[in-house]
Amino acid sequence: MASDYYQTLGIEKTASKDDIKKAFRNLAHKYHPDKKGGDEKKFKEASEAYSVLGDDKKRAEYDAYGRVFSEGAAPSGGAGGSGAGFDGFDFSDFVKRAGFSSANGMNVEFDLGDMFGDVFGGRGTSARRATRGRDISIDVELSFPESVFGAERRVLIAKTGLCNTCRGSGGKPGAGEKTCDTCNGKGQIRETRRSFFGSMQTVRPCVACRGAGKVPAEKCTECRGHGVVKKQEEILVRVPAGIDDGEVIRMTGAGEAVAGGTAGDLYIKVHVAKHSLFHKEGANLITELPIKLSTALLGGEYSLKTLDGDMTVKIPEGITHGEILRVRGKGVPVSGGKRGDLMIKIKIDLPNKLSKDAKRLIEELKKEGI
């Protein structure tokens, strides 16, 4: 076998796991012995390289010490190997799906789907898929003040939940349990398959008893032994203060339930209605306050509606257009019980028309250099 696994796969030492998977998949398609123009030796070399570099622990050992492997074992299928396979690889579905002919005319019982399912993150066994319930996503509408101060929403969701009668066990309450006939109480099913490298044995959880080794003596009449039922459930959603439009809240375990496994999650996407006066910038609230020219010159007081109620704003004399007044502690709540600030941007309203008296006064001001 090649001494440099990275060179075998044609990748750099800094390659990611996705790069390693892609490189191996390309070589497997190219060199599989059952394919016309295939190369058995190079196929085995690529498989050995992937069995090491595709495993984080083995890759770290290889990078540090070379071809030294956990538990003192060389990679399967290497020199002197008996064709025991590589970490449980099974190459049959690859042969079938790629249209490869059977080796030596034999009816080879390969199932490469298991390899590309478990190794490449694709489809797995039905038992593994059933260990976690589906996620649910919903949308929630909030007013602007609710997004600032936080809010609570009660939502009614139709989903798969645990059976209230059997609490997910699937058995009739009080009926007890019995040994699973499918796995004889072991909780696992052993399967032996032939592959290109020889016979390989795999172990998977028993689907009938979900790996427990026992099943209910009598099925629950409510859920018919499934442990879950379709039902409507009211969920309390607590929206934190300061949330922005488009943010998503995740509620762990509030999704669909699955018997013998973990419930999925609930994702709530928040939509915040726009406010006519305010918008947020971080922890601060921003608004505009139109004032008269005379107030800008002489100062004065204005009443301003805020999210906390009406407040009086003192305008200093000589304020300019676009200047900002800061009111501390009237913004968005943040951690520690503190709040951001209210930022008031001054907008000086100039009259479109002036009376004769107003024009005369302005002329007097002009003479004063104002």
Range of the domain at 86: 5-124
CA distance 314 to 31: 81
Of the candidate ranges 105-114, 329-338, 357-366, the one whose mean pLDDT is the lowest: 105-114
CATH number at residue 111: 1.10.287.110
The per-residue pLDDT of the chain, averaged, comes to 81
**Domain's final residue, options 106, 124, 142:** 124
Q: What is the pLDDT of residue 1?
A: 41
Q: For residue 209, what pLDDT band results from cuts at 50, 70 and 90?
A: confident
Cβ 168 vs Cβ 162: under 8 Å: yes
- State which of 19-28, 97-106, 203-212, 272-281 shows the largest mean pLDDT: 272-281
Boundary (domain end) residue, out of 62, 95, 124: 124
pLDDT at position 328: 95
Domain count, the chain: 2
- Closest Cα partner for 344 from 295, 297, 277, 294? 277
Report the phi/psi class of residue 174: left, alpha or beta, with left for phi > 0 and alpha for psi in -120 to 50.
left
Domain boundary among 103, 124, 145: 124
Q: Is residue 194 part of a domain?
A: no
Q: Is residue 25 part of a domain?
A: yes
* Rounded Cα distance, 138 and 221, in Å: 32
Position 92 in a domain = yes
Instruction: Determine, yes or no, domain membership for 291.
Output: yes
Compute the CA torsion angle 271, 274, 278, 281 (nearest 10 deg): 40
pLDDT digits (tens, 9 = 90+) for 33-87: 877 778 888 888 889 889 889 988 888 888 877 664 444 444 444 433 433 334 4
Q: Is the pLDDT of residue 342 over 90?
A: yes
In contact, 262 and 131? CB cutoff 8 Å: yes
Q: Rounded to two decimals, what is the model's pTM? A: 0.56
